[in-house]
Amino acid sequence: MGVSNVKQWSRIVKEALDRAFFTAKFLCLLHVSNTYLCTVALAHGPSMLPTLNLSGDLILADRLSVRFGKVGPGDIVLVRSPQNPRKIITKRVVGMGGDRVTFSVDPKDSRRCETVVVPEGHVWIAGDNIYASTDSRNFGAVPYGLLQGKVFWRATSFHITLGLY
């Protein structure tokens, strides 16, 4: 009786280990594809109205474009905030290194504009809703190394839209 109990236990343990390994391999694969291929993010806040909603949009961002330097003006990107490294923000790229960017400093109060040349290795990011966005107008051009991904797809709440930005 004792021997068959041990055999049953070893079989159960082996099956549990197999399943654990399978789950671990699947999670590894998920992690690798999240880091190198494509990542999911939930973007909320008023700074990208009307492109993205206030209450939250599920967006897909691919990581290959950033890695291969295929980001350009007009792209919506995920950026690690230079003011708070734990926060990732969604903004639009307005200028790359070497470009001359003109922006209105405080659109709610005045119409004063400023022109700035973006340093090499940096990008100028701006939210679509300039009245409610903390972006490069506040913290200056951000280094390209802070870009996390380029947004290419957005799911809205009731229907899936294939939006090419």
Partner 1 sequence: MKCRRFGGKGEEDMGALSKLSQWRTLAREAAERTAILAKFLCILHVTNTYICTPTLVYGPSMLPTFNLTGDVLLVENLTVRMGKVRPGDVVLVRSPENPRKTVSKRILGMEGDRVTFMIDPKNSNRCQSVVIPKGHVWIQGDNIYASHDSRNFGPVPYGLIQGKVFFRVWPLNGFGSLRQ
> Which of residues 18 and 131 has its CB atom nearest to partner 1 in the complex?
18
Residue 91 bears catalytic tag: yes
Query: Judged by CB under 8 A, which of 12, 17, 32, 160 binds partner 1?
Result: 32
Whether residue 74 contacts residue 93, with contact meaning beta carbons closer than 8 Å, is answered with yes
Interface with partner 1 by CB under 8 A: which range of 6-14, 39-47, 84-92, 104-112?
84-92
Query: Judged by CB under 8 A, which of 144, 153, 155, 163 binds partner 1?
Result: 144
77: nearest Cα among 161, 133, 152: 152
Query: Judged by CB under 8 A, which of 2, 85, 109, 162 binds partner 1?
Result: 85
Which class for 47: exposed (0-12), middle (13-18), buried (19 or more C-beta within 10 A)? buried
Residue 14 bears catalytic tag: no
Question: Which residues neighbour 163 within 8 Å (Cβ) at sequence distance 6 or greater?
Answer: 153, 154
Whether residue 98 contacts residue 124, with contact meaning beta carbons closer than 8 Å, is answered with no
Active-site residue set = 47, 91
Residues in touch with partner 1 (CB under 8 A)? 25, 28-29, 31-32, 35-36, 80-86, 119-122, 142-146
